Homo-oligomer: A and B are copies of this chain.
Amino acid sequence: MKVIIPFKLKNPKSRLASILSLDERIELAKLMLLDVVEVVSKFTDDILILTPPNAELDLEFRIEEDPRDLDSAINARIERDTAVIMADLPLLNEKVLERFFNSDADLVIAPGRKGGTNMLLTRDERFRVSYHYGSFFKHVSIAKELGLKVEIFDSFYASIDVDDESDLLELLMHGDGKRSHEYLKAIGFGVDFSKKDPELIRSKKG
């Protein structure tokens, strides 16, 4: 099983810019990538971090730079038994991925919110990705046009791609032990459980 993890460090997680500095967002993005790689590496050594050129990623993993758009860069690398897992899914754990990798459909696809595709696994080299604009539904259509058996992988933890403040709250509540979770706590974030709906808080700096 080959696992492709797309990653970019240029102004990452821009929707968090109102509560995290650029340096903090870069650090968070790197730590989430490490959280994802750590759990994926329990299932395969064939992990590939796919990034735009000149990423200057200081990581001890196989990194491939590709100047093309995300879809083209991924599609050029799809073979039989290829998974694409997003780098901002810090709540993935071994139990989730065991269920994911053990699914036996031709295309296994995990929805994120807003019509996104957070993880997919194709056992057919003809499958092609097309991210954004409701990619989950596009991917299901593409697979069905190829006559592939599709399995929707139903997971709360896989659905949490950290994109906005509400996702940070989920990471803080459910991410015990993850590097990204420890980092957020270290820079002052926490959860206020005194409200009917828990809220994200940040203690004053300095």
Contacts and interface: CB of A to CB of B under 8 A. Distances in A.
Interface stretch (A54-62, A180-188, A194-202): A194-202
Interface string A108-151: 00110111100000000000000011101100000000000000
Contacts of A159: 156, 159
Contacts of A156: 110-111, 154-156, 158-159
Given A134-B193, A193-B134, A115 B198 contact: yes
Nearest to A153: B156
A173 B115 contact: yes
B195 A111 contact: no
Interface of A: 95-96, 99, 110-111, 113-116, 132-134, 136-137, 154-159, 166, 169-170, 173-174, 191, 193-198
18 contacts: A96-B154, A114-B169, A115-B173, A115-B193, A115-B198, A132-B196, A132-B197, A133-B193, A133-B194, A133-B196, A134-B193, A134-B198, A137-B173, A154-B156, A154-B157, A156-B156, A156-B158, A156-B159
